[in-house]
Chain A
Amino acid sequence: MIETKNISHSYTNSESINLPNISLNQGEESLVIGKSGCGKSTLLHILGGLLAPTKGEVKIGGQIVNDLSGSTLDKFRGNNIGVVFQVPHFIQSLTVKENLLLAQNLAGNSINQAKIVELLTDMDIIQKIDSKISNLSQGEKQRVAIARALVNDPSVILADEPTSALDDMNCQLVIKLLKEQAKKKGATLLIVTHDNRLTDQFERRVEL
């Protein structure tokens, strides 16, 4: 499902970062561990089609992501990749439900309210469906962010430090939910983190 070959990236005025080859099948989960500044986020951005690597090839679900550009890439990303960030960001002017509806709309999918309700119920956050984002706690926001990453049934879920900003209880909850949902949807889950609390929860680990 995810396959990278010899990718390296160099930002302007800096040395190039070589990234390890990754190969994950559908439904598999893996952790990428490393200290901050070693290229974890770069890897995640490249995998998510948010950043084009200087060298190498990224394949997701049989599609060579490097070949895509412009709105085709945007559409591919919206439909196939769900991303969860360290700090959960939302469109502040919208409610929880509206943020999820927007995610469906921007990916070019038809509105599916039932799915939103189902996801939020799974995340145990259904009671906040009509709340403004600013009225949610950090842990609640992260759960909504997971729901948003899943709303378009992506084949790949990428999570960038999803637990670093959370306390132990929320950390465990978020990881549990991510794993559960990925399994339920048959999606490939890749988490990049420096959070040691996650190390023993994943069998497959890549060190950067």
Chain B
Amino acid sequence: MNLLKLSFRNIQGRPLSSILSMLLLATGLSTAIILQLTEHQLTKNIENTGKDVKLVIGAKGSRIDLILSSVFQIGNPTGNINYGFYQLLKRNRIIKEMIPLSMGDSYKRVRIVGTTHDYVKLYSGELESGKLFAAPLEATVGYRASKKLGLSIGDEFIGGHGMEDEVLHHHDEFKYKVVGVLKKSGSVLDNLILTPVETVWIMHAGHEDDSDYIIGSGEKNQQHDDHEHHVEEHQDDIEIDQHSNEHDHHAHDHHAHDHHGDHANHEYDELIKAIDPANKEITAIIFPHLSGNAKVGVLNNANNQPGMMAVDPAPEIALLKSKLAPFVSIIIGIAYFITIIAMFSVFIGLLNSLSARKYEIALMRVMGASRFKVLMSILFEGIMLAILGFILSLVLSHIGMEIVASWMEYEYQYEFTGWLFLSSELYFLIIALCIGLISALYPSIKAYRTDIAETLSKG
């Protein structure tokens, strides 16, 4: 039976007060730890996702919305731009790499993104099984998306127009076919279904009015149309125009064949040819590894196009982070507040127990304990409560983070985990130790000063 054991037994001796103190401390600390875990993972994800995208072109609108939707796959896009502009830029030799993105559809809350293989390459995506999408309606599914949806190679599914909760209608004439599943990459790819951009055109060919939903206001739509005609001038599209009225027929035809399963690729080729170039739209173009004059050139070019804008993600991400800062401060404030209450709880718990144990302190002195030993035994109690509170906070925060992770994942399209331990968590151990020490300081000094004879006479 040494002092440490004695202190531990005394903590055990007043279970309610001890549990309250530990819970308060653990709540305060775990709030701060969860915040830190979230911030760490979010920042890491933002950096990983954003670092290779140097420029984004999309429809005019909120700059931050464009970055969020096209780079981070969060929220609704600003609208669509014509594929003609992408083709125009493609002819430009100084642009080494550009990736089209076509968004707006989803399957069971998982986003379907029309793009090229470069998008997979951008995040170093690797195939776990199957192959990358090649023909229209072929889909390569991200790792987590495949787990969540239970999709594997050969599965077919029907996508819906709209994202997340607001699926407006289902494109039930066409079925996607899973041709591949990606390995876990820890990037946006994990939570996406990827398909060629052409798929999106085919899907929407039967629903001209879709574009209204995507673009948002009618006014914007009008601007868009102007622009589309502008681009059209560069293209040889007389023949395609003739077909455009027939594509509805094609679509239904196709639906009839659907039961037979296999489609030859050329069937889609015809369908695609039949689509009016004005309706060939993509949501955004992202540019990896673009810098210097090339970047300035593309930026100016895009900004001069009606209904279009080019946005550099870096300052937008910085802005986003700065907008998050006040919320982070508020949560930190709350965490500190709870922690300070915890400190009072430890203090009051010790002081209360000490006034009840005054005689025990005198008794310890009678049995040969020095003043210093008595002081230490009370300090140990405070420190031990703090360490127990800290251990509890580790458990609470990491389990809590795992719970928070599930909805964070939905909100931010990234994988969050509670099973990540940061070395900075040790910093909270130091805070906990300080709290234990500070709150036990006065009670222990009081114990130190106990007058043995006086206390015993009163006992």
Contacts and interface: CB of A to CB of B under 8 A. Distances in A.
> Which residue among B12, B359, B369 has the maximum number of chain A CB atoms within 10 Å of its CB?
B369
Nearest to A85: B456
A75 interface: yes
Nearest to B359: A89
A89 B459 contact: yes
Interface in A45-89: 45, 48, 50-51, 70-71, 74-75, 77-79, 83, 85, 87, 89
A75 B329 CA distance: 53
Interface residues of A, number: 34
Interface in B1-49: 1-3, 5-6, 9-10, 12-13
Contact of A74 (B10, B357, B365): B365
Given A92-B357, A94-B1, A94-B9, A50 B366 contact: yes
B368 A107 contact: yes
A75 B370 contact: yes
A90 B363 contact: yes
B325 interface: no
6 closest A-B pairs by beta carbon, nearest first, are A78-B368, A93-B13, A101-B1, A71-B370, A51-B453, A107-B368
Contacts of B367: 78, 102-103, 106-107, 148
Contacts of A20: none
Interface string B280-292: 0000000000000
18 contacts: A41-B457, A42-B453, A45-B452, A45-B453, A50-B452, A51-B452, A70-B370, A74-B370, A77-B366, A78-B367, A91-B357, A91-B364, A93-B9, A94-B6, A94-B9, A102-B1, A102-B367, A106-B364
A48 B365 CA distance: 11
B13 A92 contact: yes
Contacts of B452: 45, 50-51
Contacts of B6: 91, 94, 102
Given A50-B452, A74-B369, A85-B456, A105 B357 contact: no
Contacts of A94: 1, 6, 9
Interface string B323-361: 000000000000000000000000000000000010110
Interface residues of B, number: 28
> Which residue among A78, A91, A94 has the maximum number of chain B CB atoms within 10 Å of its CB?
A91
Nearest to A94: B9
A93 B360 CA distance: 10
A83 B366 contact: yes
Nearest to B364: A106
A94 B368 CA distance: 18
A79 B368 CA distance: 7
A104 B369 CA distance: 10
Contact of A71 (B5, B372, B457): B372
Which secondary structure characterizes the binding site on chain B?
helix
B227 interface: no
Interface string B363-396: 1111111111100000000000000000000000
B366 to A, nearest CB: 5
Contacts of B373: 106
Given A50-B453, A101-B1, A102-B1, A93 B12 contact: yes
A74 B448 CA distance: 13
Interface in B260-292: none
A45 B368 CA distance: 14
A105 B367 CA distance: 9
B406 to A, nearest CB: 42
Interface in A136-160: 148, 152
B456 A106 contact: no
Contacts of B457: 41, 45
Nearest to A99: B1
B453 A77 contact: no
A78 B371 CA distance: 13
A90 B360 CA distance: 6
A102 B367 CA distance: 9
B13 to A, nearest CB: 3
A206 to B, nearest CB: 20
> Which residue among B1, B359, B371 has the maximum number of chain A CB atoms within 10 Å of its CB?
B1
Contacts of A90: 360, 363
B1 A89 contact: no
A6 B153 CA distance: 103
